[in-house]
Amino acid sequence: MPLTVLLIPLGSAGDVHPLVGLADRLRLRGHHPVVITNPHFEPLIRQLGLEFVPLGTAEEYDRATHHPDLWHPSRGFRLVARFAMLDTMRPIYEIIRQRNVAGRTVVVAPATALGARMAQDKLGVPLVTVDLQPALLRSQFNAPTLPPLLLGPSVPGWLKRFQYYLTDKLLIDPILAGEVNAFRTELGLPRVDRLLDGWWHSPHRVLGMFPDWFAPPQPDWPAHITLASFPLWDETEAREVPPELEQFLSDGTPPIVFTPGSAMRQGKEFFAAAIDATQKLGRRALLLTRYPEQLPTTLPAGIGHFDYIPFSQVLPRAAAVVHHGGIGTVGQGLAAGVPQLIMPMSHDQPDNAARITRLGVGRTVWPKQFRGPVVAAALSELLDSPDTLVRCRELAERLHNVDGLELAADVIQRSV
C-alpha cells in the first residue's frame, strides 16, 4: 500500500541531505514523500520533483547561520534548541495534524523535531526517529564523547548516569521543558521531564543511519532501534559538476580538501590555516565554502575554491579531507577511503572525531590549536602512515555496495 511519508529534516545540509535522499528513494518505491523543512532548501527539493512544505523562513536560517554562538561548545545548544526545536514545535505538530491519514501516514524526523513527538503522543501517528549521529544515543556503557562530560571507558556507569541527570536538570530542561510542557498541557497531554533522556526518541521505531562498526549498539540503547548505514546522498542527482573542477583535479597531484561545513560563516581562521598548512607541505588544496568572503582575495597557485561539490565526485580523487566533524562528511570520507583530519567545535562533532580516531583513519586538532604548522604536522603524519592508508581502504571496502538509503527505506515501509 502506498504511504504518505512526512519527512522533516532540521538543520544544515548535512542534516537535510539524508532525508531528501530518502524521500527520493521512497518515491521510486511508489510512495508519496513530503519534505517539510526550511525554505533555504526549497530549490533543491523542487528540482528533484518532491513535494515541499515550508517550515519557518529562509531569513531565519540565515540569522541562525550568521549567529556567532552556532558552533560554540556550550552556547551552541541554546541556539539550536531555539531555532531547530522550540520554534518549529507547534508548526510541525500542525502540519502533521492536517496531513495525517490513519493507517497511511508515517512521519520520519530527527529527535530534535519535538512537534513530531507531540503528534505521536496526541494523534497516534507512527513516527520513525532518525539518528544520523550516534552522539544522540546516551549510554552508560560505551558512551559518546560529549565534552565537558567525563564518559570514558574508565568512568563507572553510576557516574555517567549522574552526569546525564545533572545535564538534564541544570541545562536541558531549563531550556526546553517549560515551552514543551505548556504545549502539552494545551493538548491535554501529561508533563514530561528529562526530555533528552529517552522521551525525544520515538517509542515506535528508531533508525540509526550509520553502520554498527562505526557505533556498536549498546545494551541501554532503545530496544526498537535498527541500524542502516551512512546515507551517502550529496546532490549528485541534482547538480552538474563544473568543468573547472575536472580541470583542477587533472592539473596536478591529488589535493587536500578543506571544508568547515556548509553552514559555517566564521571560517576565516580555518581557511587561513588550510592555506598555510598546504603551502608548508607543498601540497595542492581544494577549499569548499559557499561564503567566499572567508577566503583571501587571491589564492596561491595550486589552491582552488568551489562553493559546493558533491563529495562523492571529489573525495575519491583527494589525498585527505580536513573538516569540522559533521557526520555527513565523516561518512563520505569513509566511503572514499581517505584520511580525515577533524577540527570539532560542538554538538556531535567531538564524538564523530573520536570515532574516526579510534577507527585508525584520522586525527583530531581542536580549534584553539588549529593553525598552519599544527595542521601541516598532523596531515603529514596521516599521509605518511601506511597503516592509516590501509585502514582507510579497509573501511571503504566495508561500505562498497552498501546502500544506506535502501536499508532505511525498508525500515520506513515496515513502520505502519
pLDDT at 236: 87
Is the pLDDT assigned to residue 1 strictly greater than 80?
Answer: no
pLDDT at 160: 97
Which DSSP letter does residue 295 get? Answer: S
pLDDT at 203: 96
pLDDT at 170: 96
Q: What is the mean pLDDT of residues 131-138?
A: 97
- CA-nearest of 277, 258, 302 to 378 is 277
Give ranges for CATH 3.40.50.2000 in the chain: 4-227, 243-399
Helix (H, G, I), strand (E, B) or coil at 2: coil
- CA-nearest of 111, 139, 142, 294 to 207 is 111
Cα gap 152→19, rounded to integer Å: 32
Residue 274: CB atoms within 10 Å: 26
Q: Kindly indicate whether the domain formed by 4-227 is annotated with CATH number 3.40.50.970.
A: no
Is the pLDDT assigned to residue 265 strictly greater than 90?
Answer: no
Residue 206 cell numbers, joined = 528508531
Q: What is the pLDDT of residues 329-383, one digit of tens each?
A: 999 999 999 999 999 999 999 999 999 999 999 999 999 999 999 999 999 999 9
Q: What is the mean pLDDT of residues 164-178?
A: 97
Residue 43: CB atoms within 10 Å: 11
Q: What is the mean pLDDT of residues 385-405?
A: 97
As a whole number, the mean pLDDT across the chain is: 95
Fold of 243-399: Rossmann fold (3.40.50)
Q: What angle do CA 62, 293, 245 make, to 5 degrees?
A: 100
The confidence band for 248, taking pLDDT boundaries of 50, 70 and 90, is very high
Contacts of 282 (CB under 8 A, 6+ apart): none
148 prior amide bond cis, ω within 30? yes
Q: What is the pLDDT of residues 347-360, one digit of tens each?
A: 999 999 999 999 99
Cα gap 161→151, rounded to integer Å: 9
Is the pLDDT assigned to residue 242 strictly greater than 90?
Answer: no
Q: What is the pLDDT of residues 203-232, one digit of tens each?
A: 999 999 999 999 999 999 999 999 999 999
| Total-model pTM | 0.95
The confidence band for 72, taking pLDDT boundaries of 50, 70 and 90, is confident
Give the C-alpha distances (Å, rounded to integers) separating 329 from 15, 204, 215, 225, 356: 11, 29, 16, 23, 11
Q: What is the pLDDT of residues 108-119, one digit of tens each?
A: 999 999 999 999
- Which residue did the predictor score with more confidence, 47 or 262? 47
Cα gap 369→377, rounded to integer Å: 12
pLDDT at 414: 87
Cα gap 361→286, rounded to integer Å: 20
Give the C-alpha distances (Å, rounded to integers) separating 131 from 209, 310, 343: 6, 22, 22
